[in-house]
Structure 1
């Protein structure tokens, strides 16, 4: 009697009714639709602000569009040929490379140094973290204008140098000092962001490893090089990538401080693109320069991502 009663119940629980199966499918469809709704704003934003502009730039690359004259002419590969014969492009690429290397080396080194110092416990840690991070949230234009006043021939920096008997240069009107100035302004603007990322990574390093190494007689530099640096290498990879991409896309600092001068000494690729497109109204050639910038950023990112296997800890 017990056997004949429990068998239908077991089969009923094992084989859901048609109504229950339909309810499950409805819940599954609702979950899928909810997921798509959550990712829709991001996908739509990427489509509108990334893929469509890239497609338009590729299209304009084969045309010459003069807004003032109202002409839009198909020129084929003329803009690409102009790119290879542009006498200013080598100087522009050199200035871009110098600026990028200076910003990346200065930013990463200073951010890591500050993070190591502020990772130690002392009374004013929170204050100094706030001070070093505060430039990140300041408007780029406001930050650059203030530095422009400081770097003038009769500005605050030369005034301080005169107090100790040093006659400072005209920072923004001489080639080497102009490039150095814009690099320093960019480094100080964004060093706080990388500092915070390094701080988070340093706090994840197991203290047992560093204490064991110290007991074995390893010095501070050996512990940092052999334990700390490998442990934070994924964060180091992230900061290097975002710093390089940010340095290649800099515009406001150059436009406000030097306007690309003197000569072409601080004319980086983004500013040169702006000049060609919006000052000289060569939108076709400006689109070609934009594609060149896209290719440079893409290649550098891919190279760094491939090289990560050699030096990033926890990567296979």
Structure 2
């Protein structure tokens, strides 16, 4: 090694010592980490950690009254597969979710299209349909509990028209439908506002061009409106599906899972097992099942977006 090489190495080491540690890229990276750290900490503390504990509890048999906490491995999952009520619970959950999602999205889109017109009174009706979203869920449900009784307000209105209405919350054929309708009326305003914002973002020039090409109202809706608001349709469908699988207060107040098990959805069955029957380990197992169902349905919707969502193909 020559003297020149040795001199270059010494000079390089001296320059490295003089280089500041907090360079601009490092400072930018630190700022980025500081900005995301609250969200990251919240996700760890309130999502990942609770989910890990639920999975751990599903492997235990926790008897609060006796004060025992015993590891049982997969016994709770074997109980889940052999549970004779699980078929009825999953059927009620599927019917409730399907009815809620279809009615909610269809009604919300219809209202958004009607209220997107430049007519007198649209502001009033927008406020009217959105106001139930702001009402307390429990208060809303209690009011509807009185309205849907055999001598309630709904049957009173039907009696004026000469129709003898049933006890809506006590009939196996009407209880689930009643809960679905109550939930749809409560939350349809939220999806309506999202659809309304999406509709107002559709350029008017596209409608005018389609009209000049001879496209009718239905063709313009199918070929122009639906593709351009498809990202909002995806968002509202995911929100509505996840929300439909987490409904509890309405069932607890209106029907308590009855009559029979016609309105016993998975979340309410989870509550019964964990907090009424004190089967906390089995309740945690049902929570894991609920998480898997929500995750699979969300993943399926997200993967299918490339086939029908605009700009995703």
Q: TM-score, normalised by structure 1?
A: 0.91
The 1:72/1:18 distance shift into structure 2, 3 A limit, reads: closer
The 1:20/1:145 distance shift into structure 2, 3 A limit, reads: farther
Is 1:48 aligned to residue 45 of structure 2? yes
Aligned equivalents of 2:39, 2:273: Cα separation in 1: 32
Corresponding residue for 1:238? 235
Long gaps (5+) in structure 1 = 1-16
Aligned equivalents of 1:31, 1:152: Cα separation in 2: 62
Question: In structure 1, the residue corresponding to 2:173 is in which secondary structure?
Answer: helix
Q: What is the CA distance between 1:275 and its match in structure 2?
A: 0.3
Corresponding residue for 1:85? 82
Is 1:129 aligned to residue 129 of structure 2? no
Aligned equivalents of 1:99, 1:21: Cα separation in 2: 65
Corresponding residue for 1:313? 310
244, 253, 258: which one aligns with 1:256 = 253
Is 1:197 aligned to residue 199 of structure 2? no
Corresponding residue for 2:299? 302
Aligned equivalents of 1:98, 1:260: Cα separation in 2: 14
Q: What is the CA distance between 1:20 and its match in structure 2?
A: 11
Corresponding residue for 2:175? 178
Corresponding residue for 2:7? none
243, 247, 260: which one aligns with 2:244 = 247
Aligned equivalents of 1:199, 1:168: Cα separation in 2: 35
Q: What is the CA distance between 1:104 and its match in structure 2?
A: 0.3
Long gaps (5+) in structure 2 = 1-14
Is 1:98 aligned to residue 105 of structure 2? no
Is 1:208 aligned to residue 178 of structure 2? no
Aligned equivalents of 1:20, 1:241: Cα separation in 2: 54
Question: In structure 2, the residue corresponding to 1:263 is in which secondary structure?
Answer: coil
Corresponding residue for 2:36? 39
Corresponding residue for 1:5? none
Aligned equivalents of 2:96, 2:127: Cα separation in 1: 27
108, 113, 116: which one aligns with 2:105 = 108
Question: In structure 2, the residue corresponding to 1:65 is in which secondary structure?
Answer: strand
Question: In structure 2, the residue corresponding to 1:309 is in which secondary structure?
Answer: helix
Q: Once the two structures are superposed, what CA deviation does each residue of 1:241-286 show, in whole Å capped at 9, x if it has no partner?
A: 1100000011010001000000100000000000000000001000
159, 164, 177: which one aligns with 1:162 = 159
Is 1:285 aligned to residue 275 of structure 2? no
Q: What is the aligned-residue RMSD (CA, Å)?
A: 1.7
Q: What is the CA distance between 1:39 and its match in structure 2?
A: 2.2
The 1:55/1:220 distance shift into structure 2, 3 A limit, reads: same
Is 1:275 aligned to residue 280 of structure 2? no
Q: What is the CA distance between 1:309 and its match in structure 2?
A: 0.9
Question: In structure 1, the residue corresponding to 2:48 is in which secondary structure?
Answer: helix
Question: In structure 1, the residue corresponding to 2:84 is in which secondary structure?
Answer: coil
Q: Once the two structures are superposed, what CA deviation does each residue of 1:227-246 show, in whole Å capped at 9, x if it has no partner?
A: 10011111101110110000
Q: What is the CA distance between 1:29 and its match in structure 2?
A: 4.4
Aligned pair count? Answer: 299
Corresponding residue for 2:217? 220
